[in-house]
């Protein structure tokens, strides 16, 4: 079996490539990544010499390249490549539309031309918009994205659906809640808070800190996608979540407690525009129809994650100094000025 995985030098994609090469030792993986600020070859250093893994630096918007790569006997395409950070989508929406919509289309065209047996689009619960205090996102929830990021992901998802309906391409779309775990770029909440807390720096918290996200340990996301590749019914959407809703403030307090750092580091900053209040995933379909079950709950997952960031300080300090500080300064300086 030959897989083309896109975005495999990013957070979830690299975890997925490492996971698949362990689970299916006879599979071949072509890992395509443009190495944007979020891509990092260090994430896949452990498989540098693995003959079953080939890394190709390429942009998924490059239709000719995608055609060439998928034309080399690829059976399955799994599309993780995306611009993925909501805050950046507010600063620069155009790159989100380019990669998340046009890049997806380039992949779909090549997948259709070369008759792949499965195309999995890795999407997000954010396409469903926001929830009130009750209810959960199901696969039937209408798409009502609120940020340029989620709108561009919804655009990609709709193209994937259309290629199944129009051309009979065998597709699945997975929609996952917030992931956390090893190799997550330190702009996202959990690694941001761990790294800032370890350096005794102020921890920026949007608004009142009571926005709720439904957290999933990244390895559980990988096992769900593995299952969808092999057992997913063509054309179906599968929501993936671990029933771990927590407020941002709860996450931050848990990290501070485990690191032995004071709550006085918490600094409330100006709210993010269009900040969705609550996400909650109903994972019943993938659990009952495909038999998926997460192995981690939030308490075990966060302990393992904190331990990983403590053991891999070099990994995140290097990224922060090279790729991240200028953005962090731009993103948060005005917000700290508006500190509540
Ligand atoms: N992180 C989460 O909590 C979460 C939750 C649900 C869904 N998702 C989805 O999962 C996928 C992976 O998310 P992530 O958190 O690993 O993102 P990430 O930002 O860490 O990684 C994205 C990767 O895609 C690559 N990339 C970006 N543009 C590209 C392009 N044009 N061509 C080729 N490669 C390109 C980057 O270099 C990077 O390696 C995304 O599609 C995202 O929408 C993420």
Q: Which of 19, 128, 149, 238 is catalytic?
A: 149
Ligand 1 atom closest to residue 99's alpha carbon, by position in its atom list: 31
Q: Which atom from ligand 1 is nearest to the alpha carbon of 176?
A: 6
Residue-wise pLDDT for 190-209, tens only, equals: 999 999 999 999 999 999 99
pLDDT digits (tens, 9 = 90+) for 44-81: 999 999 999 999 999 999 999 999 999 999 999 999 99
Domain range 2-180+215-240, its CATH number among 3.50.30.30, 3.40.120.10, 3.40.190.10, 3.40.50.720: 3.40.50.720
CB 36 within 8 A of CB 57: no
**Any catalytic annotation for residue 48?**
no
Ligand 1 centroid to residue 10 C-alpha, Å: 6
145-176 pLDDT, tens digit each:
999 999 999 999 999 999 999 999 999 999 99
Task: Please report, for residues 120, 174, 225, 305, 325, the alpha-carbon distance to residue 292 in angstroms, rounded to integers and kept in the order given.
Answer: 17, 13, 10, 22, 39
Sequential DSSP letters for 234-296: TT-EEEE--S-EEEHHHHHHHHHHHHT--GGGEEEEPPPTT---B--B--HHHHHHH----S-
Relative to beta strand 266-269, strand 203-206 is parallel
Distance between start and end Cα atoms, the chain: 54
The pair phi, psi for residue 120, each rounded to 5°, is: -110, 120
pLDDT digits (tens, 9 = 90+) for 214-240: 999 999 999 999 999 999 999 999 999
* Catalytic residue from among 33, 59, 109, 125: 125
Q: What is 139-152 written as a DSSP string?
A: TTSPP---SHHHHH
Find tokens 């999995």 and name the residue: 120
38: Cβ below 6 Å to ligand 1? yes
> Which of 8, 60, 81 has most ligand 1 atoms within 8 Å of CB, for mutation?
81
Burial grade of 29 (CB within 10 A; 0-12, 13-18, 19 or more):
buried
Q: How far is the CA of 262 from the centre of ligand 1 (A)?
A: 32
CA of 39 from ligand 1 middle (Å) equals 8
């Amino acid at each position: 079996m030959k897989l083309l995985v896109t975005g495999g030098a990013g957070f979830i994609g690299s975890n997925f490539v490492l996971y698949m090469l362990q689970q299916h030792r006879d599979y071949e993986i072509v890992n395509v990544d443009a190495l944007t600020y979020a891509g990092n070859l260090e994430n896949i250093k452990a498989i540098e010499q693995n003959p079953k893994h080939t890394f190709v630096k390429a942009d998924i918007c490059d239709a000719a390249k995608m055609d060439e790569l998928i034309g080399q006997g690829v059976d399955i395409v799994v599309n993780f490549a995306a611009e993925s950070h909501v805050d950046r989508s507010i600063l620069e929406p155009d790159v989100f539309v380019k990669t998340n919509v046009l890049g997806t289309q380039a992949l779909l065209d090549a997948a259709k031309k070369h008759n792949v047996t499965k195309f999995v689009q890795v999407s997000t619960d954010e396409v469903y918009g926001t929830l009130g205090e009750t209810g959960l996102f199901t696969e039937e929830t209408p798409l009502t994205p609120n940020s340029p990021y989620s709108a561009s992901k919804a655009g990609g998802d709709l193209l994937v659906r259309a290629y199944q309906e129009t051309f009979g391409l065998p597709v699945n779309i997975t929609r996952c809640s917030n992931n956390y775990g090893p190799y997550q770029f330190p702009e996202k909440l959990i690694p941001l808070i761990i790294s800032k807390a370890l350096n005794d720096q102020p921890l920026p918290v949007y608004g009142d800190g009571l926005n709720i996200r439904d957290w999933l340990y990244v390895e559980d996301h990988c096992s769900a996608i593995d299952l969808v590749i092999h057992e997913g019914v063509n054309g179906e959407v599968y929501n993936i979540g671990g029933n771990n809703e927590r407020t941002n403030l709860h996450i931050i307090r848990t990290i501070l407690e485990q690191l032995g750092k004071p709550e006085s580091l918490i600094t409330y900053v100006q709210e993010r525009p269009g900040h969705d209040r609550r996400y909650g995933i109903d994972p019943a379909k993938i659990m009952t129809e495909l038999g998926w079950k997460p192995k981690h709950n939030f308490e075990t997952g966060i302990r393992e994650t904190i331990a990983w960031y403590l053991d891999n300080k070099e990994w995140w300090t290097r990224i922060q100094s090279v790729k991240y500080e200028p953005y962090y300064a731009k993103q948060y300086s005005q917000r700290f000025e508006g500190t509540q």
